[in-house]
Structure 1
């Protein structure tokens, strides 16, 4: 990729052919009855109003959504079942995979501070599709964006002991943080050099002011300096609530420039992104932002990097 060219955020991106093969490295499926957050009154969330997805989103619908886009394999990411439901979630996702052939791998949930963590990881590891763990760490001054109970959970000694248990089992860790947490996250990655961290949603840029861009770039460079961190080009509509190729392009292009094409993976974040767009529009927006990449680099981002990272 030509790193000298500046991101072209101010114009419509050119049309480009879609990839001939895709791994969707970040999607969800669910049954509404399993998820308390999809029931009862809607709550403020980073992705805005979500009435349209307060229902079942089964694998059959996901397969219909991806059908025009040459998606050959996929990775399911946990969906915050109520506490204690993580083993049931893992078993259900594996059953879906066994029945339908999708997803090909999954990322489960575990509380890394739990006294029963080792037993949970071992029980979850009985499912052949398990590849990693996500415990969401993102914390923000804005309560509507806040998920973790405190910003520095990753620095707690007992939490890090839990992360060591994840690493010792050959699993990866899905890292979800805001820019204010990236310095700590980079130190965490440095302390666990034998563990692969997958940074979610291109670092979750939520502040598009000049200061916001500067702090995002600084944090992303710190993480890019850690060779055991890879990054998903996913969730790019989370804060703007639309699929906007011109708005997404600078985030994608700068992320690829910092991390290198070999450490970037495509993810749809469906059905969250389905709130405002179709699957093909996401693919097209990402393709358009990669026009400086070689054909091999684009194939890596859309397919080969995820195959390697998730052992597909």
Structure 2
């Protein structure tokens, strides 16, 4: 079935007036945090540039540094098609330099994860070299959007071909990541975790991180199937967690594709409401991967459609309230610092 006729799952849009109805003070404000997953945007999500990011970062939590993750932002408008994504890295570097020169609280975009079309095969080497060069010491890895389903399309980016992680040409390009010392971010649904497991087994020397806890779906044919989806998602994670080169990001649950209804309520959720809904998922990841392979993420501004930055991190802190200092340091800072070599 062509993606052009698939039903589209609308994303949770950012609504500042709606978010302003509810605020919270930051819990554990001295806990050091690296936010290893945020985006920038000229127009998407109402626009989200350095000033917007810094306003969120300064909402009470101690954010020491951040990692920018590719989102199809500011690609080059001309030149070879394969090299156009390098424009994203170029612009993020400029934004980071300017923002960090003006403030010293948080090193924004200390790491950058960009895009390269790995399905180019061995020819992707030119793109990877260009990304590393323009990254000026910040470039850390590649993310390839693989989240696709035969029954629906989620309204963030165009759906890629199904089964891209199994494509021989993709794997030929993937093999080049190790040559440049780059990691891989996986953005895929729980229905694709078996394919990611196969990929991770094939490349044991390439660090891989699963974005957004592997996205246990709650929309389309999975609406009202939360228990069955949870069981299947956990079974898939149990398999992939056995691979030492795979880590996981704890977050993204504010996206509409998870099926939680918070963005549809008259008022924004409290951090306790979010913690109660998200706790089984977060704790399952920590149980399977251990704190040393788990890192909390904001996924802003995407998750800003569900809650504010302060409330998001408070929800995470409620979930981890009974954990040790060492466990919290790993979950909130050290795992991200190690994985992205910050």
How many Å apart are 1:241 and its aligned residue? 5.3
* Match status 1:283 vs 2:313: yes
Structure 2 SS opposite 1:91: helix
Q: Which residue number in structure 1 is paired with residue 103 of structure 2?
A: none
Provide structure 2 residue ranges, at least 5 long, that are not aligned to the other structure: 1-25, 76-80, 101-107, 219-224, 263-268
Return the offset for 1:118: 1.3
1:194 counterpart SS class: coil
TM-score (norm 2): 0.77
Go from structure 1 to structure 2 and tell me whether the alpha carbon gap of 1:284 and 1:218 turns closer, same or farther (over 3 Å shift). Answer: same
1:78 matched residue in structure 2: 70
- Give, in angstroms, the shift of residue 145 of structure 1: 3.1
Gaps of 5+ in 1: 1-14, 33-37, 39-52
- Residues 182 and 222 in structure 1, CA contact (< 8 A), matched pair in contact too: no
Which residue of structure 1 lines up, in the alignment, with residue 125 of structure 2?
A: 118
Which residue is equivalent to 1:307? 337
Aligned to 2:296: 266
Q: Distance in 1 between matches of 2:287 and 2:63?
A: 25
Pair 1:256 & 2:286 matched: yes
Q: TM-score, normalised by structure 1?
A: 0.84
Cα distance between partner residues in 2 of 1:121 and 1:167: 11
Aligned length: 278
Supply the distance in 2 between the matched residues of 1:287 and 1:209 (Cα, whole angstroms): 24
Question: What are the within-5 Å matches in structure 2 for residues 109-258 of structure 1?
Answer: 109-114=115-120, 116-126=123-133, 127=135, 128-145=137-154, 147-207=158-218, 208-238=225-255, 239=258, 240=260, 242=262, 244-258=274-288
- Who is 1:4 aligned against? none
**Contact 2:254 / 2:307 at 8 angstroms: preserved in 1?**
no
Residues 9-47 of structure 1, C-alpha deviation per residue, up to 9 Å, x if partnerless? xxxxxx963452110000011223xxxxx4xxxxxxxxx
Q: Tell me if structure 2 keeps the 8 A contact 1:109–1:134.
A: yes
Cα RMSD for the two superposed structures:
1.9
The answer (yes or no) to whether the contact 1:174–1:199 under 8 Å persists in 2 is yes
